[in-house]
Amino acid sequence: MKDQWFYANHPLMYIACSVGIILVLFQGTYLLRKALKASEEMGMDKKRIRKGVTTALVASIGPALGICGSILALIVTLGAPVTALRMSVIGGTNYETMAANFGAKAMGAELATTMDPIVFTNALWTPALGVMGWLIFMVLFGHKMESVNHVLTGGRKALLPAVSVGAMLGAFAYFCVDNISKVSTNPKVTFATVFGFIIMFICQKLGKKYTWLRDWGLTFAMFIGAIASQLIF
């Protein structure tokens, strides 16, 4: 039986993924044109508009480069076409890696560079189906978000960021505890997790002075943790 690379790099996969990417490019261009047209109708200063667009472009470079390391991790497991699609549609490497790994684990395997095609398929479907929840939710309740937020936070809007962060921390904690528990069977994974935590902690502390480190922290933690683990073990 062929491994996942027969399917990950198949021409049909490139064609299917290009449809989603083209749609995102069309939507972005359409919204930009609508925004520029609205600014003209409102009589906004063109110099200030150009300055705002330029500032936004420059500010987006840092966060975009910050996910490059995570993108490489996705490419070597899911393939270039799927990675390009997921980053174009969602753009969150944290979610994509986490969801794909959940899908692989559901089949009794791990997200890896060599997977059974069925495991690979499950790893692809999990992040795709995972986003359906909030897409359907927004269609049905997007116009009632104020009421939903009020219910989730008990009327205290300051708690809303804490609810979101708590959900993400819970997902990360699941992975970390799972990796730590493998100290006797796979010490590489355990050491990479611990060392990655140390690097992330350092980046967050230094990020108070060097703000760019906050965007790059996850990438540094993943790369340095993995490299150090390979060198030591």
Instruction: Put residue 13 in one of left, alpha, beta given phi > 0 → left and psi -120 to 50 → alpha.
Output: alpha
Cβ-proximal residues to 42 (8 Å cutoff; 6+ apart), any chain: none
Residue whose pair of structure tokens reads 């089949």 in the numeric block = 107
Pairwise CA distance, residues 226 & 181, whole Å:
17
How confident is the prediction along the chain (233 residues), in pLDDT tens digits per residue? 577 899 999 999 999 999 989 998 998 899 889 988 988 888 888 888 888 888 777 667 656 766 776 788 788 889 999 999 988 887 677 788 888 889 999 998 888 888 999 999 999 999 888 888 877 877 787 777 777 667 766 666 677 777 778 877 887 888 788 888 888 888 888 898 899 899 889 988 888 888 777 767 777 887 788 888 888 87
